[in-house]
């Protein structure tokens, strides 16, 4: 009888996978810092927003850069995260994508107001003109805000539950994702606290870091 010895193949991790797993937590971390730096976080009207940007133009510039990072990374990170949970929780995962993807994509529309505030300040326009420009936003901004709030808050909750149901990442990490965006909502609407908001988005980032670690364990053939 001839014995055949099978040799185990070496699993290689593609450069694309490395890029994805490195960037997975970057999007929510960028938004966490953005929320902490946002100069008009506690503003109650357009005049307060204009005054805050005028007082802190450097922070407003950082907000625009961080927002751009978020636009580039949040959706790819979300799509990558679903690799971990789509088989164990297909319905939850599908609903998470259906809500969170348009929610995150709406962020670009919302940043338009930030660009306007920064540009008007840099151009040296009178304060009254800057306030008028901020108040004269297109109705699509209100629609984008609604889509963003509902989409990314509810979508992230469903993603966290899907990750928990999959059992592929530690339960604490899945629950960190699940509670992160409701906490962000409370920080913004109820508490008016950029510090709590920072913690909320960093919970998403930490959870995504654990997802990234799990993706590195998945054989290339199963992706």
- Per-residue pLDDT reduced to its tens digit, 36-59: 999 999 999 999 999 999 999 999
CA–CA separation, 64 vs 24, rounded Å?
20
CA–CA separation, 13 vs 17, rounded Å?
6
CA–CA separation, 26 vs 40, rounded Å?
23
CA–CA separation, 59 vs 56, rounded Å?
5
pLDDT value of residue 76: 93
> Per residue in 160-208, pLDDT tens?
999 999 999 999 999 999 999 999 999 999 999 999 999 999 999 999 9
Closest to 50 measured CA to CA, from 103, 149, 128: 128
Q: CB burial class (10 A; 0-12, 13-18, 19+) of residue 188?
A: middle
pLDDT value of residue 218: 61
């Amino acid at each position: 009888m001839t014995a055949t010895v099978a040799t185990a193949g070496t699993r290689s991790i593609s450069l694309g996978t490395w890029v994805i797993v490195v960037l997975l937590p970057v999007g929510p971390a960028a938004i966490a810092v953005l929320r902490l730096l946002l100069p008009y976080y506690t503003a109650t009207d357009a005049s307060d927003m204009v005054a805050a940007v005028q007082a802190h133009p450097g922070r407003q510039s950082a907000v625009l850069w961080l927002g751009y990072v978020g636009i580039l990374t949040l959706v790819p990170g979300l799509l990558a995260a679903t690799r971990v949970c789509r088989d164990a929780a297909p319905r939850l995962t599908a609903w998470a994508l259906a809500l969170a993807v348009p929610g995150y994509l709406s962020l670009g529309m919302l940043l338009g107001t930030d660009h306007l505030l920064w540009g008007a300040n840099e151009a040296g326009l009178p304060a009254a003109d800057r306030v008028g420009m901020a108040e004269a936003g297109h109705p699509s901004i209100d629609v984008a805000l609604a889509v963003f709030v509902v989409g990314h808050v509810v979508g992230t909750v469903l993603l966290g539950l899907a990750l928990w149901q999959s059992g592929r990442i530690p339960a604490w990490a899945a629950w960190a994702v699940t509670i992160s965006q409701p906490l962000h909502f409370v920080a913004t609407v109820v508490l008016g606290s950029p510090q709590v908001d920072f913690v909320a988005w960093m919970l998403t980032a930490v959870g995504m870091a654990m997802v990234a670690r799990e993706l590195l364990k998945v054989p290339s053939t199963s992706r």
